[in-house]
Amino acid sequence: MKENQYVIGVDYGTDSVRSLLVNANTGQEIAASVFYYPRWKKGLYCDAAANQFRQHPLDYVEGLEATIKDCLAKAGPEVAAQVRAISVDTTGSTPIAVDESGTPLCLLPGFEENPNAMFVLWKDHTSVQEAAEINMHAEKFNINYLQYVGGIYSSEWFWAKLLHILRVDEKVRNACYSWVEHCDWIPYILTGGQQVSEMKRSICAAGHKALYAAEWGGLPPEDFFTSLDPLLQGFTQRLFADASCSNKAAGIISQEWANRLGLTTNVVIGVGAFDCHMGAVGGQIEPYYISKVMGTSTCDILVAPVEEVKDTLVKGICGQVPGSVIPGMIGMEAGQSAFGDAYAWFKNVLAWPMQNILSQSKLVDADTIKKLIEEATEKIIPELSKQAAALSLEEDGELAVDWFNGRRTPDANQLLTGALTGLNLGSDAPRIFRSIVEATCFGAKAIVERFVDEGIPVKGLIALGGVAKKSPFIMQMMADVINMPIRVHKSEQTCALGAAMFAATAAGIYQNVEQAMEVMGQGFDAEYYPNSERAVIYAKRYLQYKELGGFVENQIPSVSELAAV
């Protein structure tokens, strides 16, 4: 019998980190553990009204140690010695300012409580102005440095965030030696990195967010950035010239981390990547199928052979990068800035009276009030889904636009806002909720439509993540709206499973990622087929959605107008 070989996939999400211990020989999930970021949970270092969302690296480090040790404890003492590799995926673009050793500034004296010295979460939109300036600036050059990121740079990405932090915080500016993505930093610390110049950078993060491309030899030239703002002088030299696919090893685990986790010093640490890219692999992506990682936002991934894509460039997406998902294929990324977050917003609106009025009640004790609020809040979305599903579908009625956190794709514009229209005195909570769900499905349809219009066929959809597993109502509506079947992957933790597949490949257990997917993949446990009658009605409502979206967009200053201010 073949000796058991175990790998660990670590998935950093917006609210928590999850580690998954997997038998690489079979794909069997041996143990899983989740750690919710304590500082983030308290709302520290964030200001939602200002679109500022920051996370402390200690949340990440503590979660890494806690979840891996918990997995090993659940699996039994003999397993630790048979762990061959660890790979990590994270949200992105989620970068941080570091010193020359690669240490985040907030871990140094004088920066402990400074949000600008912490990780700038993907959903942080404080750099809208900087993104607009980058877009205007790029038009001045003969080479289109934005051509591989859909032609529009976003405030959710690497350079816009760096420029914003340098502008608003002189102390951080003076101490910042380099700028590092979360997915690159975790492998770096696990391998005991001492010099940030030696950090292995992910092609996934570099290509989709940092304008890295082989066509111009890596990052754009220094003068592209210094002519944008002199504050960026020297950063290209202090960043990276090369980037690696995630089937490669970043190094071997350090003695310190081997001791902390209870592992041997033979554990391979893979090059990191973003969650949706590794999630697509965990969900057994196929060429020309859109893999939808559905959580607080969505990240949509499509892969296609390099020789078939050729010179096709898809406008308005989050980039197309060779090897960012599967080596040898072009990885194309799109997505929605708010998906589950849109439902959570409405839930919070409905929960406001309970949290702010019921909490003051003198009729029952405080502990009972707390439990009542928690119970009721937990049931809001399931009950809304149940009642919304029972409503008849008509061409007219409440209509929403899903840009509650701006628009990621098609055509990034984080200035845009959500909208509700068609309200009347009969508009109750289930009807409004249905319109919000419908809007998120329309947003997903717009992404499919963009790929097809730009010459990239879409054969079907693969759904991953919590929403896909928990809400038949949402999944059926999406199948009806897009008018395509949707397969739901069996694993509840496809991002962590994808990271485990990459770990197995980096360790040499499998020759390539495709082989790891074939052996370790778990298959699908549900498929939703479109209802032809409902699809016809949704097609008409989709046109209304686009018209309403156009009206909203016309009311808000364009990025070019913002840049000119």
103, pLDDT greater than 80: yes
Q: What is the dihedral of CA 510, 511, 513, 514, to 10 degrees?
A: -100
Calculate the alpha carbon distances from 70 to 31, 56, 190 in Å: 8, 22, 17
pLDDT at 561 over 80: no
Question: What mean pLDDT comes out for the span 430-455?
Answer: 97
State the pLDDT at residue 412: 87
For position 465, what pLDDT does the model report? 83
pLDDT digits (tens, 9 = 90+) for 296-316: 889 999 999 999 999 999 999
pLDDT in tens, 356-374: 998 888 898 999 999 999 9
Confidence of residue 517 (pLDDT cuts 50, 70, 90): very high
* Cα distance between residue 281 and residue 66, in whole Å: 25
Which residues have C-beta within 8 Å of that of residue 64, sequence separation ≥ 6? 10, 17, 19, 186, 190
What pLDDT score does 426 carry? 96
Q: Residue 419: is it exposed, middle or buried by C-beta count within 10 angstroms (0-12/13-18/19+)? A: middle
Cα distances (angstroms) measured from residue 559 to each of 77, 125, 135, 157, 318 = 56, 13, 8, 15, 17
Cα-to-chain-centroid distance, residue 411: 17
Six-digit token string for 258: 């081997």
Which pLDDT belongs to residue 127? Answer: 96
CB 496 within 8 A of CB 32: yes
Say what the pLDDT of residue 272 is: 98
Q: How many CB atoms lie within 10 A of CB 441?
A: 25
Rounded to the nearest integer, the mean pLDDT of the chain is 95
DSSP sequence for 244-296: B-TTSEEEE--HHHHHHHT--TT-EEE--EEHHHHHHHHTT--TTEEEEEESS
Residue-level length of the chain: 565
Report, as an integer, the average pLDDT of 118-134. Answer: 95
List pLDDT tens digits, range 40-84. Answer: 999 999 998 899 999 999 999 999 999 999 999 999 989 999 999
What are the pLDDT digits (tens) for 170-227?
A: 999 999 999 999 999 999 999 999 999 999 999 999 999 999 999 999 999 999 999 9
Average pLDDT, integer, range 437-462? 97
What tokens appear for 80 in the block? 């630790």
Q: Is the pLDDT of residue 381 over 60?
A: yes
Q: Which CATH architecture has domain 340-490+525-558?
A: 2-Layer Sandwich (3.30)
Least confident of 6-20, 131-145, 361-375: 361-375
DSSP-H helix ranges across 227-272: 235-238, 255-261
Q: What is the per-residue pLDDT for 283?
A: 95
What does the pLDDT read at residue 2?
67
pLDDT for 414 beyond 90: no
CATH topology assigned to domain 6-283+492-522:
Nucleotidyltransferase; domain 5 (3.30.420)
Measure the CA angle with vertex 459, ends 453 and 464; round to 5°.
Answer: 105
- In this structure, are residues 8 and 22 in contact, taking their beta carbons and an 8 Å threshold? yes
Collapsed DSSP state (helix, strand, coil) of residue 88: strand
Same fold, 6-283+492-522 and 340-490+525-558: yes
Per-residue exposure over 122-150, b if at least 16 CB sit within 10 Å of its own CB, e if not: bbbbbbbbbbbbbbbbbeeeeeebbbbbb
Residues forming beta bridges with residue 104, ordered by sequence position: 98
Q: What average pLDDT does the segment 135-149 reach?
A: 96
Distance between CA 231 and CA 225 in Å, rounded? 9
Q: What is the CA radius of gyration of the chain?
A: 23
Compute the Cα dihedral for 320, 321, 324, 329 and give only its sign: positive
**Please, what is the angle between helix 472-482 and helix 366-389, to 10°?**
30
Domain locations in the chain?
A: 6-283+492-522, 340-490+525-558
- Give the CA angle between residues 550, 480, 430 to the nearest 5°: 75
Q: What percent of the chain has pLDDT over 90?
A: 92
Give tens-digit pLDDT for 454-470.
Answer: 999 999 999 998 888 88
- pLDDT band, very low/low/confident/very high, at 1 (cuts 50, 70, 90): very low
CA distance 462 to 359: 42
**Contact (Cβ atoms closer than 8 angstroms) between residue 465 and residue 494:** yes
Average pLDDT of the segment spanning 508-515? 96
Which H or E run contains 34? strand 29-36
CA dihedral 320→321→322→324, nearest 10 degrees, is: -120
Q: Phi, psi at residue 81, to the nearest 5°? A: -70, -15
| Rounded average pLDDT over 247-262 | 98
